[in-house]
A and B are shown apart, each in its own frame.
Chain A
Amino acid sequence: MSEDQSILICDDEADLAGELGEFFSACGWRTIVHLGAPDALEALHAGAAPTCLLTDLRVGHFSGAELVAATRRLPAHLQPRVYCLMTGHVLDTSEAKDFGVDLLYVKPIDPDMVLNDIQKFLDGA
């Protein structure tokens, strides 16, 4: 685990966002938690530049997909290296690329698996 790895978590479910933050912090990640997409986007604009963006698909009126799309329009140095999307909906045929992300998860997620996937993605990249 690298000390400079960071993750920006965006979920309007405060308990879940808190648990996720706690998990990644315990794993040595610097965590930034936001409960709404506008706040998260503002932080990204301000130069948060996390290693990973983990967002829920539905986070209020501004969806996670919109947050991902907006983030992708940021300058390259402000963009995360890996984009992760979570959703509570049952997905049958949808894939990560359908939402413009690198990793797609259906709640409830296995945090260890998510961590491994991110790590693998980063290592692969």
Chain B
Amino acid sequence: MIFLSHNLRAGWRAWPTALCAVTFSLFVATALLYISERKEQALLSESVTTSGWVAYQAQLEYVKTDDALKRAALRPDAEALADVGLRLEILRSRLPLLYGSEDGRMLPEIDALTPVLQRFEIVLDGMIDAMPALESGSAPKEPILKAWSSALAPLGRELQSVLMASVAYNNNLFERERSLSEQPTLVPLALLFLSGSTLIILMLTRARRDREHLRAVEAARRAVTEMERNLRGVVQAAPSAMLVVDPAERAVRFINPAAAEMVHPSLDHPDWTRLIDTSLEEVQIGDDGGMILRIAFAKSGGDVVSLRGSLCPVMWEGRPQMLMVLIDNSRTRDADLQLIQAAKLATLGEMATAIAHELNQPLAVIRMAVANAHRHLDAADAREAVAAKLDRVTTQVNRAKRIIDQVRRYGRQPSGKAATFALRPTLELAAGFVAEQYRACGIRLALQLDVPADLAILGDRDLLEHVIVNLLINARDAFEQRAMARPRTVWLRARLHDQKVLVEVEDMAGGISEEVMAHLFEPFSTTKPAGAGAGLGLSLARSVVRDMNGHIVAENMRNGACITLLLPVARTPATREAA
């Protein structure tokens, strides 16, 4: 059906072309016919004229010869006889023209008359030969001349009949010419009429098509105008800031009300230039090839807003420009950060016992060292022994300080600002934070950090540390729920993979059930006992990783679960220059 419809449409489109071809053919045919008829008419006129003239000349010469013979018979003087001789020769010369010339050959029945004419040529030759004797002789000339006149009479009749046949033939020719002159007039007229009709049909069809096309164009123009009006309304009413930027001149060409409210109503305000510079500097390429923006922008009033959005090339007023769409997600970002902070504090609360135990260890050493130092004070070599005890006290104080620093760093409010930072030390800090808990639980924490120490990524360092700590605590809890799982080992790995860095936390604690796996990264998804976790850890981890333009996935491997973070390697100043 579709094929038929396609053919019909194709035929509908092709038939005006065919109509043009037919019209052109008709015009050519009309012209050729006209030229042909003109030529035929000219040929007929010439034929009529020349063939009739030959017959007439021959008949005229016969009459003149007969007249000369009859006049010479009445008064046979030398002048009359000379005239007879001349006429006989002229008549003799005319006869071959009747059947020997092209014009004569056009006479009707000339072929049948040719032997007769040739016989009379012989007769005329004899008369012409006899003329000298007749002029110079003394014999009576009158009977001879009358006899010659009588002998040539049949020739006269034949020539008369030829002339009459020629006239009749010419009449036929004229009739034919007349009929032809009438007939061709109708045919070319008909052809011209057909051509004209075809042309008119063609023009009407074309005009109809043009009208339809015009209507379609006008409808499309109205639709475009309407769409433009709607789009303009959408752009004007959109809560997102939309602006058209000329990146070459670092200038803003258009802003919607949301953009004016977000930055400044005047396009010439210097904040716009700063926003463009920041955006072009921080733009990132997403997985789908699009340009995405995540920037913190400080307004001239001092307020710092968190902006997210995208960039895409557009044509604006005939020039290639960039359309920038931005939303102020400061509130959402602040809420996320507060949620993350709450989750971190909850984690700290869960870890409080372990942290207390960890802190009590150095305090116990200090307490014992102080007690022993007091005993040494009474001895003779007290100075050296007490100094050794004080060194031990200092070492343990520093140990306690490191623990407190870890807690303080972990507990501080995340800034939410992205910056480049070294990945490996961050992972080591996270591992150090849970090391005592792992030791206490009899779980081995194996680090395989196959990345350069200065490998940098972009994001919030504190948040990523929180994510890793959260994953490590989840692994610890998995072992707590499956006490018999062996080996009690958790791997924290990092390695480079295709311009990205893979961070894996893998345990051997039995893995994650399919039911839980399906909702693992959703908020409030947890397998822990009530009160042991809000189920926000992995949801927040996904949010943090996404903000870093990365991915987080979970899968069961071997006899446990493996959470993998895929993070883009940050562009260092060196790589920027190389790029």
Q: Can you list, as one digit per residue, whether each of A8-30 has a CB less than 8 Å from chain B (1) or not (0)?
A: 00000101100110110010000
The answer on a CB contact under 8 Å between B357 and A88 is yes
Q: How many chain-A residues does the 8 Å CB contact rule pick out?
A: 23
B439 CB contacts on chain A under 8 angstroms: 58, 60
Task: Flag whether B170 is at the interface (Cβ < 8 A).
Answer: no
The answer on a CB contact under 8 Å between A88 and B360 is yes
A87 CB contacts on chain B under 8 angstroms: 357
Q: Can you list, as one digit per residue, whether each of A68-101 has a CB less than 8 Å from chain B (1) or not (0)?
A: 0000000000000000001111100000000000
B371 CB contacts on chain A under 8 angstroms: 19, 23, 110-112
Task: Flag whether A120 is at the interface (Cβ < 8 A).
Answer: no
Nearest Cβ on chain A to B361's Cβ, whole angstroms: 5
The answer on a CB contact under 8 Å between B367 and A15 is no
The answer on a CB contact under 8 Å between B375 and A19 is no
Which has the most chain A C-beta neighbours within 10 Å: B364, B392, B395, B440? B364
- A16 touching B357 in the complex, CB below 8 Å, given contacts A58-B440, A60-B442, A112-B371: no
The answer on a CB contact under 8 Å between B368 and A16 is yes
By beta carbon, the residue of chain B nearest A115 is: B371
By beta carbon, the residue of chain B nearest A86 is: B364
Nearest Cβ on chain A to B545's Cβ, whole angstroms: 34
Task: Flag whether B197 is at the interface (Cβ < 8 A).
Answer: no
Q: How many chain-B residues does the 8 Å CB contact rule pick out?
A: 23
Once bound together, how far apart are the Cα atoms of A109 and B372, in whole Å? 13
Nearest Cβ on chain B to A115's Cβ, whole angstroms: 10
Q: CB within 8 Å of B: which of A99-122?
A: 106-112
Task: Flag whether B366 is at the interface (Cβ < 8 A).
Answer: yes
B367 CB contacts on chain A under 8 angstroms: 107-111
- A111 touching B361 in the complex, CB below 8 Å, given contacts A61-B442, A89-B353: no
The answer on a CB contact under 8 Å between B353 and A111 is no
The answer on a CB contact under 8 Å between A111 and B368 is yes
Q: CB within 8 Å of A: which of B346-369?
A: 353, 356-361, 363-369
Nearest Cβ on chain B to A108's Cβ, whole angstroms: 4
Once bound together, how far apart are the Cα atoms of A124 and B133, in whole Å? 207
The answer on a CB contact under 8 Å between B372 and A107 is no
Once bound together, how far apart are the Cα atoms of A22 and B389, in whole Å? 11
The answer on a CB contact under 8 Å between A16 and B372 is no
Nearest Cβ on chain A to B510's Cβ, whole angstroms: 19
B392 CB contacts on chain A under 8 angstroms: 15, 19
The answer on a CB contact under 8 Å between A13 and B361 is yes
Q: Can you list, as one digit per residue, whether each of A24-52 has a CB less than 8 Å from chain B (1) or not (0)?
A: 00100000000000000000000000000
Task: Flag whether B240 is at the interface (Cβ < 8 A).
Answer: no
Task: Flag whether B470 is at the interface (Cβ < 8 A).
Answer: no
Nearest Cβ on chain A to B364's Cβ, whole angstroms: 4
The answer on a CB contact under 8 Å between A88 and B361 is yes
The answer on a CB contact under 8 Å between B366 and A108 is yes
Partner of A108, one of B353, B363, B395, B440: B363
The answer on a CB contact under 8 Å between B356 and A90 is yes
By beta carbon, the residue of chain A nearest B367 is: A108
Determine the main DSSP class of B at the interface with A: helix
Nearest Cβ on chain A to B550's Cβ, whole angstroms: 36
A15 CB contacts on chain B under 8 angstroms: 365, 369, 392, 395-396
Nearest Cβ on chain B to A111's Cβ, whole angstroms: 5
The answer on a CB contact under 8 Å between A13 and B358 is no
Nearest Cβ on chain A to B478's Cβ, whole angstroms: 18
- A16 touching B361 in the complex, CB below 8 Å, given contacts A61-B442, A111-B368: yes
Partner of B365, one of A16, A61, A89, A112: A16
The answer on a CB contact under 8 Å between B360 and A19 is no
Once bound together, how far apart are the Cα atoms of A10 and B387, in whole Å? 26
A110 CB contacts on chain B under 8 angstroms: 367, 371
By beta carbon, the residue of chain B nearest A14 is: B365
B368 CB contacts on chain A under 8 angstroms: 16, 19-20, 23, 108-109, 111
Nearest Cβ on chain B to A117's Cβ, whole angstroms: 15
The answer on a CB contact under 8 Å between A13 and B365 is yes
Once bound together, how far apart are the Cα atoms of A60 and B6, in whole Å? 82
A112 CB contacts on chain B under 8 angstroms: 371
The answer on a CB contact under 8 Å between B372 and A89 is no
Nearest Cβ on chain A to B165's Cβ, whole angstroms: 146
The answer on a CB contact under 8 Å between A26 and B358 is no
Nearest Cβ on chain A to B443's Cβ, whole angstroms: 9
The answer on a CB contact under 8 Å between A88 and B442 is no
Nearest Cβ on chain A to B489's Cβ, whole angstroms: 12
Nearest Cβ on chain B to A58's Cβ, whole angstroms: 5
B363 CB contacts on chain A under 8 angstroms: 107-108
- A88 touching B356 in the complex, CB below 8 Å, given contacts A23-B371, A61-B442, A111-B371: yes
By beta carbon, the residue of chain A nearest B356 is: A90
Once bound together, how far apart are the Cα atoms of A83 and B552, in whole Å? 50
Nearest Cβ on chain B to A91's Cβ, whole angstroms: 10
Which has the most chain A C-beta neighbours within 10 Å: B361, B363, B396, B439? B361
The answer on a CB contact under 8 Å between B372 and A22 is yes
The answer on a CB contact under 8 Å between A109 and B353 is no
B359 CB contacts on chain A under 8 angstroms: 88
Partner of B360, one of A20, A22, A26, A106: A106
A26 CB contacts on chain B under 8 angstroms: 372, 375
Nearest Cβ on chain A to B42's Cβ, whole angstroms: 129
- A108 touching B360 in the complex, CB below 8 Å, given contacts A19-B365, A61-B442, A90-B353: yes
Once bound together, how far apart are the Cα atoms of A60 and B395, in whole Å? 22
Partner of B372, one of A23, A61, A86: A23
The answer on a CB contact under 8 Å between A16 and B442 is no
B369 CB contacts on chain A under 8 angstroms: 15, 19
Once bound together, how far apart are the Cα atoms of A15 and B353, in whole Å? 22
Nearest Cβ on chain A to B21's Cβ, whole angstroms: 99
For the complex with contacts A15-B369, A110-B367, A111-B371, 9 further pairs of A-B residues with Cβ separation under 8 Å are A13-B365, A15-B395, A16-B361, A16-B365, A16-B368, A19-B372, A89-B356, A89-B357, A109-B364
Interface pairs (19), CB distance under 8 Å: A15-B365, A16-B365, A19-B365, A20-B368, A23-B375, A60-B439, A60-B442, A61-B442, A86-B364, A88-B360, A88-B364, A89-B357, A89-B360, A90-B353, A90-B356, A106-B360, A107-B360, A107-B363, A112-B371
Minimum-distance CB pairs A-B, first 3: A19-B368, A88-B357, A108-B367
